[in-house]
Amino acid sequence: MMLDDFLIRAMLAGLGVALAAAPLGCFVVWRRMAYFGDATAHASILGVALALAFGISVFTGALVVALIMAAAVSSLSGRGMAMDTLLGVMAHSALAFGLVAVSFLQGVRIDLMGYLFGDILAVSKVDLAVIWGGAVAVVALLAWRWQALLTATLSPDLAKASGIDPRREQLGLTLALAVVVAVAIKVVGVLLIAAMLIVPAAAARPLAATPERMALIAVGLAALAALGGVQGSFVLDTPTGPTIVCLAAVIFALTTGATALGRLSAKS
């Protein structure tokens, strides 16, 4: 049976987000930056409101605000306030300001639920080009700086001794994270972007012996969740973005449970 065009576009969009989010999510997991991804994603709704107010593309607005949020968090960290507290305050404040800003837009029709939870079935060819362009850029950056990023993640002191600037690598990750948030907002929405960054990487962790293998497995699991979520939502008539994340969570439970059972059987 031939799939409808909108389903094919939805699957391609899901694959594009999986390709970018999964390997970047590995660094988010290794660096324990889950709050950072959440704060950047929440801030992007303010970018959506500003983009609609000034008549620019939503991608541009979300990207600019995500970059500003990331830069603000990086500059404010280490100044006497715990990072998780700082990120919690900034994430929820940015989301609240974004929602209030949306309410002031006059004469602009906005599907707020679509931006919060994604509207992958409404992805256009232009959206696909933006998503895949962002995904390729993120993957290219990670491939180019992979060894330096790994070294800076494992040991900042070793990175400095090797001539690598950990803050520069952090900036690269920040940029990549902002791009992923901007391209994924159409697919899974602001509230679920962090889940697509973290859950596939966390599910891949028990299955991988090396960082490179973990990144590859995470991409495969994220792609499986994206494709299965799109088809499942079409069959079950459920929201597509949440369905994708639900399937990713099921995959995480399966890989974690299987690993735990394997360890128990090995001990016995």
Report whether 3 contacts 123 (CB < 8 A). no
Looking at every residue in the chain, the average pLDDT score rounds to 82
Q: Which one, of 73, 219, 215, lies nearest residue 150 by Cα?
A: 215
User: CATH assignment of 5-260?
Assistant: 1.10.3470.10
Report whether 174 contacts 31 (CB < 8 A). no
Which tokens sit at 109? Answer: 């029709």
Chain Cα centroid distance, residue 231:
21
Digit-coded pLDDT (tens) for 2-13 = 445 878 888 888
pLDDT for 224:
95
Report whether 17 contacts 135 (CB < 8 A). yes
pLDDT for 82:
63
Model confidence, pTM: 0.85
How far, in Å, CA of 42 to CA of 158, rounded? 33
Interacting residues of 167 by C-beta distance below 8 A, sequence separation 6+: none
How far, in Å, CA of 193 to CA of 187, rounded? 9
Report whether 197 contacts 250 (CB < 8 A). no
Interacting residues of 55 by C-beta distance below 8 A, sequence separation 6+: none
Domain segments of the chain: what residues? 5-260
pLDDT for 227:
93
Q: Amino acid identity, residue 74?
A: S
User: Three-state DSSP class for 188?
Assistant: coil
Which tokens sit at 158? Answer: 């070793």
Q: Which one, of 254, 150, 256, 130, lies nearest residue 212 by Cα?
A: 150
Could you give the maximum distance between any two Cα atoms of the chain, in Å? Answer: 67
Q: Which one, of 176, 195, 193, lies nearest residue 134 by Cα?
A: 176
How far, in Å, CA of 193 to CA of 34, rounded? 11
Q: Which one, of 31, 206, 14, 241, lies nearest residue 118 by Cα?
A: 241
How far, in Å, CA of 150 to CA of 19, rounded? 19
Calculate mean pLDDT across residues 144-149. Answer: 89
Digit-coded pLDDT (tens) for 156-193 = 888 888 888 888 888 888 888 888 888 888 788 877 88
Q: What percent of the chain has pLDDT over 70?
A: 91
Alpha-carbon torsion 210, 218, 25, 253, what sign?
negative
pLDDT for 4:
56
User: Three-state DSSP class for 75?
Assistant: helix
